[in-house]
Chain A
Amino acid sequence: MNHETIEHDVIIIGAGGAGLRAAIEASGKGASVGVVCKSLLGKAHTAMAEGGMAAALTTADPRDNWEMHFRDTIRGGKMLNNWRMVKIFTQEAPDRVNELEEWGALFDRTDDGRILQRNFGGHQYARLAHVGDRTGLEMLRTLQNHGIHQGIEVYMECTVVDLLMDGGKAAGAFAYWRDSGTFVQFRAKAVVLATGGLGKCYTITSNSWECTGDGQALAYRAGAELIDMEFVQFHPTGMVWPPSVRGLLVTEGVRGEGGVLRDKDGKRFMFDYIPEMFAGEYAETEEEAKRWRPGVPEGPDARRPPDLLTRDVVARAIRAEVRAGRGSPHGGAYLDIASQASEAQIKKKLPGMYHQFMQLASLDITKEYMEVGPTSHYVMGGVRVDPETCSTSVPGLFAAGEVAGGLHGANRLGGNSLTDLMVFGRRAGAGAAEYAGALSAMPGVNPDQVRDIERLALAPFEESGTENPYEVMQDLQKMMEHDSGIVRAKEELADGLGKLRTLKERSVKVRVEGNRQYNPGWHYALDLHNLIMVSEAITLSALHRDESRGGHTREDFPESSPELEKVNTVVRNRDGEMAWEHVTREPLPGDLQELLSHPHLEEPN
């Protein structure tokens, strides 16, 4: 069958921060670039990022530098990070923030007119450049408005179903237009995956319907490796009430601006949960924590409050409080900014949160406590890439942003994602353009492959189907929440893998009503294949990591294992079966190793 065909040197799947930054770079290097995205331009998940982007700009605290950012990122990642990625990342971060400013972004300012930075969990110094609590929107709009003048073609509301392959090389992408339901093939010399996360594997999530792990699944099917998939971040502060907004994010910026966590009796419980690794770095009593002020460099007598510990720690603490019967009425903890900042401050620094609670929960955060609990938020794992060029193990296939793995290790620090998008989006764009430039001819398209993809994509319209895609998806999410969620155990994980086999069988029997035009049921039916595949990767990787570390908590192995600290889990397709292995990580060189034991509160000099 003949399909509409569009050709570019580089095709980028995804128009979030990573995709747009990659497009700008590839186009700047002279490549013809097309960007494909499922939603309208400017609606990608990046628009929802709130708190800020981390970079050692030193405008808020002169003691900061890339080394400290390096140290915080690796310690936050519980040592599993790819240190080469972290080094590139922390060194290039300030340039990427300044570049956005050069393209028109307006970050909040310091008193002397420079870029203001805010505190965030796990960052030793105030490090997040931000715009109130809508930093992601500013980033995405800036890239969008800059990008439209760089000769990039954007194909909106177009969903990629599979990658086209020429032998073992990437050759483009097969997609369909949502508004008509017709197929289109994008032929390209290089393909960049920038498809974001997979929060929709879970019932309670801060992610939108778009986050179905498409890129991870596309890469896996094309033969690429996935790394660290067991590490899913549960953000400690999602809304818990009313049910309609369960999981919706409450930015960490609330705690960055001074907000504190309390149990049902108003007691601040985080003092009881400071892990050994961070002992001595956080305030140990309420009196001391009160001396700490957001925006003021801390001193040895006013260490930061433990409410600003890394996300994995805070999420587990809230869960433990709820289990012990000390939770709030709807099964969360209280988050209190009302007693910590004035009404004017709250409205200036957290306008989105004020609005969100007022409108959706009829709650005034300047006067009342919020109720919060863990929500699935981010995946640290993803497609394994080369730190310099973001190439994958499949020639011609690149990946950047949340879809890629390695940078964040076992736990991502807040604010490190937005910066990740810029640093590695740029590198992926350059890598892809260079690769495409070196290829003399367009890779070929294999008609058999196209026929197979097409048949699978249209299967849900066949009369014989019996399953409702919405129901299969809900059952999958429930299974993941229960068997592969925030706290895991061997038996449940093994059980989960069994249930995934059943869900897989059900997913090929779904039946959708209506026709192909703008049909969300059809879309969900196709998303299911990706969701099930990434759920399997998460569960399989989790089953084989017999320890607790960062975003991965095992009830049956509550401690971290020094042996497992040395390895990362890699998953790949071997003859149609998902295979896993533990690969030993390149150790930190001596000078960088030293940074990790750097005294945390040295005097400025």
Chain B
Amino acid sequence: MTDVTFRVFRGAGTQGGFEEYTVQLSEGMVVLDAVLDIQASQAGDLAVRWNCKAGKCGSCSAEVNGKPRLMCMTRMNTLPLDQPVTIEPMRSFPLIKDLVTDVKRNFEINKRVRPFKPKPRQADGTHRMMQYDIDRIQEFHKCIECFLCQDVCHVMRDHQKPDFIGPRFLIRLAALVMHPLDTENRLTELKDAFGIGYCNITKCCTEVCPENIKITDNAIIPLKERVAGNFYDPLAWLWRKARGKRPDTRPGTE
């Protein structure tokens, strides 16, 4: 089997550089396999986050050959192997060590989102929701919090706009706003406190999402429309809530 060279970023805080390692390729190998192999036999203290090794937990985000990806879902046979494979930590988060970055900021943002507040249950004790009314929200709930979208969003990278909550949390807001049971009006804070206006729909977030969530088309743009509508016509929001049914949450055809 062939040998492959990896250039892996090693360092802590603000210091560091690339180190080269050679790993023997095996069938079906993903980038994370190579990193764990290096860890087990060449660099026992190489820091990396991972859990599921199946694209389900969003722990192993990094930049592979300059592209933000999940290492456990990047097959070696999709990369050019005649040149070294470069692995670096996500760029927009502060470095802790090697491939591990400090992503606490995202957890802080999440706390700013007010909790879900459902309407009362029906007389028979159930909540009734139609599958077609929740398909879209289930798409948003697929988010594995890999934070790759937060990593690539230029508004997040530009630290002049600390209010902006970023694409991951805009889809969380979208999931709440479109939730058939939620009774909170969240549109005012989307505009004021969460800075949705800063997003200029570059779609970089959608491009990197490993869950293929259409972050911009299905979440941010509809939210922007609602924010605009609400701003001009607060009654429209009440009306939608009172009807309790929102045909515009049905899956689109993009």
Contact = CB atoms under 8 A, between A and B. Distances in A.
Interface of A: 39-43, 45, 47-48, 59, 98, 101-104, 106, 108-109, 112-115, 131-132, 134, 137-138, 141, 145-146, 148-149, 156, 179, 208-210, 241-245, 248-249, 352, 355-356, 359-361, 468-470, 474, 512-515, 517-522
B54 A514 contact: no
B75 A360 contact: yes
A81 B166 CA distance: 48
Nearest to B131: A109
Interface string B187-210: 000000000000000000000000
Contacts of A156: 107
Contacts of B96: 179, 517-518
Interface residues of B, number: 61
A35 to B, nearest CB: 13
A243 B141 contact: no
Contact of A514 (B27, B44, B126): B44
Q: Closest 7 A-B residue pairs measured CB to CB? A: A242-B28, A514-B45, A521-B44, A113-B128, A104-B116, A518-B47, A470-B40
A377 to B, nearest CB: 14
A8 to B, nearest CB: 19
A179 B27 CA distance: 33
Contacts of A114: 126, 128
Contacts of B59: 39-40, 43
Contact of B115 (A47, A108, A132, A149): A149
Contacts of B40: 470, 474
Interface of B: 12, 26-30, 33, 39-41, 43-59, 73, 75, 96-98, 100, 102-103, 107, 110-111, 113, 115-116, 118, 125-131, 134, 137-138, 141-145, 172, 176, 179, 182
Contacts, number: 162
Nearest to B73: A359
B45 A145 contact: no
Contacts of B39: 470, 520-521
B55 A359 contact: yes
A42 B145 contact: yes
Given A106-B134, A243-B28, A521-B44, A145 B55 contact: no
Contacts of B134: 106, 109
B128 A48 contact: no
Given A102-B118, A113-B128, A146-B116, A520 B45 contact: yes
A48 B56 contact: yes
Most chain B beta-carbon contacts within 10 A, residue among A514, A517, A520: A520
B176 to A, nearest CB: 8
B28 A518 contact: no
Most chain A beta-carbon contacts within 10 A, residue among B56, B97, B115, B130: B56
A514 B182 CA distance: 50
A106 B97 contact: no
A61 to B, nearest CB: 16
Given A47-B51, A352-B56, A470-B40, 10 more contacts: A102-B127, A109-B130, A109-B131, A113-B128, A134-B142, A149-B111, A244-B27, A360-B28, A520-B39, A520-B48
Contacts of B51: 39, 43, 45, 47-48, 208-210
A84 to B, nearest CB: 27
A55 to B, nearest CB: 13
Most chain A beta-carbon contacts within 10 A, residue among B26, B59, B96, B126: B126
Nearest to B115: A149
Given A42-B145, A145-B110, A244-B33, A106 B129 contact: yes
A522 B45 CA distance: 8
Contacts of A469: 44
A39 B45 contact: no
Contact of A41 (B30, B107, B118): B107
A48 B52 contact: yes
Contacts of B47: 517-520
